[in-house]
Amino acid sequence: MTIKNDVLNRYLFDDLHVRGELVQLKDTYKDIMNLHDYPAAVSQLLGELVAATCLLTATLKFEGEIAVQLQGDGPIGYLAVNGNHKQEMRGIVRLSTDTDATTLRELVGKGNMIITIRPDQGEPYQGVVALEKDTLADCLAHYFEVSEQIPTKIWLFSDNEKQQAAGCLVQLLPDGDDKEKQHLDFEHLCQITNTIKSDEIFTLEAEALLYRLYHQETVQLFEPQQVIYQCSCSEEKCLTTIAQIEPAELKSIIKERGHVDMTCDYCKTTYTFDEFKLLPFLNDIKH
């Protein structure tokens, strides 16, 4: 049996003040990786970050976008995934050197995780945590602890051979009176969730997996949401970047090549702008 491709599920434990999320990705993983030629361990880490970003965007209480970036002094100089409330994901890795490293510490080195949240309505805000834990999942739990002060645990799975990624999130809800009991319930649910094996999360459908884990609890499962790979680049966004270039420089590029090309790092789409399209940006050139 195979999973229904690329689904995010949210659920709630009745009476326990704890919520959960489960994401299982196939096509999204393939679509993001197939555009690039990353080493296996790098793809695997990017897969984990895609699953993590799905889980993070699903915690948003408003419409908007989340960008999660890892920056460090290791072979991966930069790794970023963007996702939004529609669960449209894209991701990219910039390797500063070839590597056969496998762990997060070896791949990214000393650095930070930067989480930028951009609501469609309102000001963006950013949280930064040092990458001090051994796994991405633990770094994210650390982020929730320091930035949001909500007890949260995350499990991430990624397999470059199977071309699949998945993840689970368990979070304490802030309401309720009996804090001590709530924390015990939360710890108990985390222990159960911790028993998930990769072959289960990669093969079982959400309902079967959640039943296997939490059959002693009452779980309320919400409407699942489809996750897709979708790059957010556009001709319009390219023009915003082009507007930053000096008109004289633009003019000289056009003179030399006849057009200006911009290629999206994420999806490799090339946008071509000829002199006619660039007229508004060439206006103040003195002849």
Tell me which residues touch Zn ion (CB under 5 A). Answer: 231, 233, 264, 266-267, 269
Q: What are phi and psi of 60, to 5 degrees?
A: -65, 140
Strands (E), the chain: 7-13, 18-25, 64-72, 76-84, 88-95, 111-119, 125-130, 152-159, 164-172, 219-221, 225-226, 228-229, 259-263, 270-274
Of the candidates 128, 150, 15, the one whose C-alpha atom is nearest the C-alpha of residue 70 is 128
Q: Cβ closer to Zn ion: 192 or 267?
A: 267
Residue 32, both tokens: 């993001």
Q: How far is CA 248 from CA 242, 243, 252, in A?
A: 12, 12, 6
The residue type at 89: M
Closest to Zn ion by CB, 30 vs 251, is: 30
The nearest distance, CB 268 to Zn ion, in angstroms, is 7
Using CA atoms in the order 13, 59, 87, 126, what is the torsion angle rounded to 10 degrees?
-160
| For Zn ion, the closer CB: 49 or 168 | 49
Our CB check for Zn ion shows the closer of 192 and 233 to be 233
> Which residue, 104 or 264, is less far from Zn ion as judged by CB?
264
Closest to Zn ion by CB, 154 vs 231, is: 231
Closest CB to Zn ion among residues 72, 91: 91
CB of 38 to Zn ion, least distance (A): 17
Q: How far is the CB of 264 from Zn ion (least distance, A)?
A: 3
Sheet strand arrangement including 88-95: 125-130, 111-119, 64-72, 76-84, 88-95, 228-229
Angle at 8 between CA 41 and CA 105, to 5 degrees: 25
CB atoms within 10 A of CB 125: 11
Phi first, then psi: give them for residue 75, nearest 5 degrees: -55, -35
Q: Which is closer to Zn ion, CB of 265 or CB of 275?
A: 265
Contact criterion met (CB below 8 Å) for 82 and 66: yes
Cα–Cα distances in angstroms (integers) from residue 10 to residues 7, 21, 145, 218, 222, in the given order: 10, 4, 21, 14, 6
Contact present, 106 and 46 (Cβ < 8 Å): no
The CB-of-239 to Zn ion minimum distance in angstroms stands at: 14
